[in-house]
């Protein structure tokens, strides 16, 4: 088929078209190519930053889990602060990249990192304050100062600098998903605190987790669909924590402290996986 000879052979026209870049269609597509390349480059750059954010946030979370077993908790907390400051700088880079853009166009690129950051920063907040960090508090820390050179034409002097404020606003949906992931970490914190002989934390956590779970139940299906998926895991986490409290209450005085953690990990949860949302 491709060896066809004939008048008006399309393949000849095709080659001629490729050679003749001034054809309007070809010229138009060259513009499209540049536009698409620019957009893809920006998207990929944001994906990279998001990955860095995810890694550093996860490391902060691991660090925070070690807090309960460390003699000097305050040091570890400060170290986590520093780490998360680094993450915030990265979020500043995202804000730079998104300047003048529609942030929703690139949301899928950076949402994983942002969710992980919310998880980390809310975990730190809980350890310090025993409360849930609000979206406002999170966003308040995501304000960045940039100095921009102001181009003063015809001036022979040094260019003046103008301060510019750049913000990044975490979306409610990302906040919600980050908090959903937080509950998994809180469950782990509960189990490990019992292993350390701390029998107060599980009861505090149980109450806190229940509030969060109730909040998610209230939202139900109206949130992003990923929330519904995470709700199942959340119920399991809550179940484990509630079982821990039960065991502590009923049998806590009987069991040596170093065996308490074993008791909880072997208990099976009684949550029915098919139980859907109310």
Annotated binding site for Mg(2+): 119, 185
Residue carrying structure tokens 């979206």: 135
3 binds other proteins (CB under 8 A): no
Select the residue interacting with other proteins from 69, 89, 134, 147 (CB under 8 A): 134
- The reply on whether position 154 binds other proteins by CB under 8 A is no
Nearer to other proteins, 16 or 152 (CB): 16
Contact status: 277 vs other proteins (CB under 8 A): no
Q: What letter would DSSP give residue 105?
A: G
The tokens of 64 are what? 């925070």
User: Is 163 in a helix, a strand, or coil?
Assistant: strand
Interface pattern 204-243 for other proteins (x via CB under 8 A): ----x--xx-xxx-xx--xx--------------------
Residue 136 binds other proteins (CB under 8 A): yes
**Are 183 and 151 within 8 A, CB to CB?**
no
Burial grade of 263 (CB within 10 A; 0-12, 13-18, 19 or more): middle
Assigned token pair, 244: 């821990």
Q: Considering CB under 8 A, how many residues would be counted as binding other proteins?
A: 46
The enclosing H or E element of 174 equals helix 172-195
The conformation of residue 218, written as its DSSP 8-state character, comes to: H
Question: Does 25 contact other proteins by CB under 8 A?
Answer: yes
Other Cβ atoms closer than 10 A to 115 = 26
Residue 266, Cβ neighbours under 10 Å: how many? 7
| Strand 161-167 to 143-149 pairing | antiparallel
Distance CA 103, CA 166 (A): 13
Q: Which stretch binds other proteins (CB under 8 A): 18-26, 45-53, 74-82, 243-251?
A: 18-26
Is residue 62 part of the contact set for other proteins (CB under 8 A)?
no
**Does position 18 bind other proteins by CB under 8 A?**
yes
Minimum CB distance to other proteins, residue 113 (Å): 19
Residue tagged 């229940």 (tokens): 210
Would you count residue 159 as binding other proteins (CB under 8 A)? no
If one asks whether residue 36 binds other proteins (CB under 8 A), the answer comes out as yes
Which residues are at the interface with other proteins (CB under 8 A)? 1, 4, 6-8, 10-11, 13-14, 17-18, 23-26, 28-30, 32-33, 35-37, 40, 102, 104-105, 107, 131-132, 134-136, 172, 175-176, 208, 211-212, 214-216, 218-219, 222-223
């Amino acid at each position: 088929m491709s060896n066809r000879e004939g008048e008006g052979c399309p393949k000849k026209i095709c080659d001629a078209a490729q050679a003749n870049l001034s054809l309007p269609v070809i010229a138009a597509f060259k513009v499209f190519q540049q536009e698409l390349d620019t957009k893809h480059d920006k998207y990929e750059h944001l994906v990279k930053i998001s990955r860095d954010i995810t890694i550093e946030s996860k490391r902060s979370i691991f660090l925070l889990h070690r807090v309960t077993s460390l003699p000097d908790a305050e040091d570890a907390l400060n170290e986590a602060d520093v780490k998360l400051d680094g993450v915030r700088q990265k979020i500043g880079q995202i804000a730079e990249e998104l300047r003048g853009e529609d942030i929703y166009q690139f949301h899928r690129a950076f949402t994983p990192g942002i969710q992980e950051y919310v998880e980390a920063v809310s975990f730190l907040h809980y350890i310090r304050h025993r409360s849930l960090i609000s979206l406002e508090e999170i966003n308040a820390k995501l304000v960045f100062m940039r100095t921009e050179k102001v181009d003063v034409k015809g001036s022979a002097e040094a260019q003046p600098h103008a301060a510019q404020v750049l913000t990044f606003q975490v979306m409610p949906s990302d906040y919600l998903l980050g908090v959903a992931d937080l509950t998994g970490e809180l469950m782990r914190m509960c189990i490990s605190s019992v292993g350390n002989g701390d029998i107060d934390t599980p009861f505090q956590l149980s109450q806190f987790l229940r509030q969060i779970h109730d909040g998610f139940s209230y939202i139900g299906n109206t949130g992003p669909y990923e929330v519904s998926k995470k709700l199942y895991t959340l119920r399991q986490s809550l179940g484990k924590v509630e079982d821990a409290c039960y065991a502590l209450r009923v049998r806590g005085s009987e069991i040596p402290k170093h065996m308490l953690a074993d008791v909880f990990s072997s208990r099976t949860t009684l949550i029915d996986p098919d139980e859907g949302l109310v």
